[in-house]
Chains A and B, each alone.
Chain A
Amino acid sequence: SAVISQKPSRDICQRGTSLTIQCQVDSQVTMMFWYRQQPGQSLTLIATANQGSEATYESGFVIDKFPISRPNLTFSTLTVSNMSPEDSSIYLCSVDRSQETQYFGPGTRLLVL
């Protein structure tokens, strides 16, 4: 398995501001993923982040809105930019440790007022 931490665990933000979410893994991993889980809904992949290359975004998600950094093999950040109430969600990072499965962090609960 993998031990994954996320910061902050939750936040309340004002419309128009930006929030950067951090994801830290206890060991080096090649691929990190960012998901969004809207209240009571399923998980939707935002982007895949590999170290040393630009993130790959899924349909409906753009870099200007969700810039991602991956400076090394144990860390990544996701920024939610120019937030609106529709961005209120749980944001989760996950890692692929053994090419067998993805392990998820505890999530960041974001409320935009």
Chain B
Amino acid sequence: QQQVKQSPQSLIVQKGGISIINCAYENTAFDYFPWYQQFPGKGPALLIAIRPDVSEKKEGRFTISFNKSAKQFSLHIMDSQPGDSATYFCAASGYGGATNKLIFGTGTLLAVQP
């Protein structure tokens, strides 16, 4: 019940295309859903986050879509660029947000081809 399932494991997208990464959770107590971007040799960096009171959040080329009834959320990267090539992790936490432990998905390795 504490798991966050992430798919796909890897993704290849052409430059300018849309990258879509999906996550699903079981624990309805989760109330904070961040996405992290990790480049090789670096720590994860927060990309965008959403709470379940909204269905979508957009920041630049990055959009989170959230479906509370299905317990699913996804990251969309519009106009994907080679610089977006990285590993992306979804995560979830409950009971007030990031002050509690984050449960991470398994990660998606994104390669954007020029």
Chain B residues near A42 (CB, 8 Å)? 89, 104-107
- Interface-side segment among B13-21, B39-47, B65-73: B39-47
Contact with B along A6-48 (1 / 0, CB 8 A): 0000000000000000000000001101000000011111001
Compute the total of residue contacts between A and B using a CB distance below 8 Å.
Answer: 52
Quick check: is A106 within 8 A (CB to CB) of the other chain? yes
Quick check: is A53 within 8 A (CB to CB) of the other chain? no
Q: Is the CB of A99 within 8 A of B89?
A: no
Q: Is the CB of B104 within 8 A of A107?
A: no
Closest Cβ neighbor of B44 among chain A residues: A104
Alpha-carbon distance between A109 and B40 when the two chains are bound, in angstroms: 12
Q: Is the CB of A58 within 8 A of B49?
A: no
User: What is the interface of chain B, defined by CB distance below 8 A to chain A?
Assistant: 34, 36, 41-46, 49, 89, 96-99, 101-102, 104-107
Can you list 28 residue pairs at the A/B interface with Cβ under 8 Å?
A: A4-B43, A31-B99, A33-B101, A41-B106, A42-B89, A42-B106, A42-B107, A43-B44, A44-B104, A45-B101, A92-B44, A94-B43, A99-B96, A99-B97, A99-B99, A100-B49, A100-B97, A100-B98, A101-B46, A101-B49, A101-B97, A102-B46, A102-B102, A104-B44, A105-B43, A106-B42, A106-B43, A107-B43
